[in-house]
Structure 1
Amino acid sequence: MSDWERSSTARVTAPARARKLAKVPFVELADGRLQGVVSSGSDIGRVYVSSVAVGTYAFACSTNNNRPCGGARGSFCNHILALIGEAVLQYGAERVARYLRVEPADGEPSASTIATGMRSTQPAQGDTKAAAPVFSRFLRHLAYLEFTPDTAPVPEMHWFPTTRAVA
């Protein structure tokens, strides 16, 4: 049994760089997808749940009420592009490219070369079934913000950046 299996806490991976949470408050590499929650640019009360599948790059984007995104018609919408950009800030370009199995054309991965590499395969619009569990997980993480401040670790919060964003 390894050390982490005997521990009561999860190993915390520090974010690659500080990121702003207003546009993309939740991003994760999980369930064979890059997925997360992206704020609407036009309505403060609306968020989108966006995802891109590993390998096939099938994408999905819909509101928290399961209405399809108007911009995701045959190509990545701005929500998905924002999700890719924030994933690169959170996890680092190399890790995101490796997870999604993208070979950037220019060699050195970045958010734009990762998106371009996926677009070159002409990905299809994917299934939106993942939206509900992703949004539910996001809401569960938001509940931790209501806890009384404490110094004890909260393993489920490993995704939440601990450094200040640079303006």
Structure 2
Amino acid sequence: MVRVIPPARPRKLAKVPFVELADGRLQGVVSSGSAIERVYVSSVAAGTYAYACSTNNNRPCGGARGGFCNHIGALIGEAVVQYGAERVARYLRVDVADGEPTAQSLHLTMSGTKPFPAGSKAAASVFSRFLRHLAYLELPPTTAPVPEMQWFASTREVA
């Protein structure tokens, strides 16, 4: 049985509906502040803190020039809520100088890095995973097993 780690705190999904620590990056989908139909795929690489942010149709974020944009800031904040600051810092290999890590100290420590060369090729796969997660919301409520979700850890003890 695989141990499931609960979220550090409950998250509000309106601004950052999808966040994950995967593929050597903090990555996720962040809602646009100006257009309801637009979302941004943002990511920060572990170790180098190289970043990328683009719309769901691969247009670069206008705010991610010379530093982290607001979308990446929101992504870092929600990752801290979801996973806890220590886990995010450990995954991204961030050494926070003073005390316990926070979303703000992580953001400040990683700022001043360079964007990924020519953007991030990971955006398509991150957005695809986000859409796959959304598809589960459209399934009708049932107590029967859902074959696509068999990999999820069970809360029952297996004999």
Q: How many residues align?
A: 148
1:125 match: 115
Which segment drifts farther, 12-21 or 65-74?
12-21
The answer to which of 36-45 and 106-115 deviates more is: 106-115
TM-score by length of 1: 0.83
- For residues 88-119 of structure 1, what are the alpha-carbon distances to aligned partners after superposition, in whole Å with 9 as ceiling and x for unaligned? 00000000000000011222100000111111
Q: Does 1:113 align with 2:105?
A: yes
Q: Who is 2:157 aligned against?
A: none
Residue in 2 that maps onto 1:162: none
Judge conservation of contact 1:104–1:113 (CA < 8 Å) in 2.
yes
- Superposition misfits of 4+ residues, deviation over 4 angstroms: 155-158
Give the counterpart letter for 1:27 in structure 2.
V
Query: Which residue is equivalent to 1:137?
Result: 129
Q: CA deviation at 1:155?
A: 5.9
Distance 1:155 1:52, change over 3 A: farther
Give the TM-score of the pair, scaled to structure 2.
0.87
Residues in 2 aligned to 1:13 and 1:143: alpha-carbon distance in whole angstroms = 23
Answering whether residue 78 of structure 2 is matched by residue 78 of structure 1, we say no
| 1:102 maps onto 2:94 in alignment | yes
**Identity %, equivalent residues:** 73
Residue 56 in 1 paired to residue 48 in 2?
yes
After superposition, the CA RMSD in angstroms is: 1.7
The AA in structure 2 aligned to 1:135 is F
Q: Tell which has more relative contact order, 1 or 2 (C-alpha 8 A, sep 6+).
A: 1
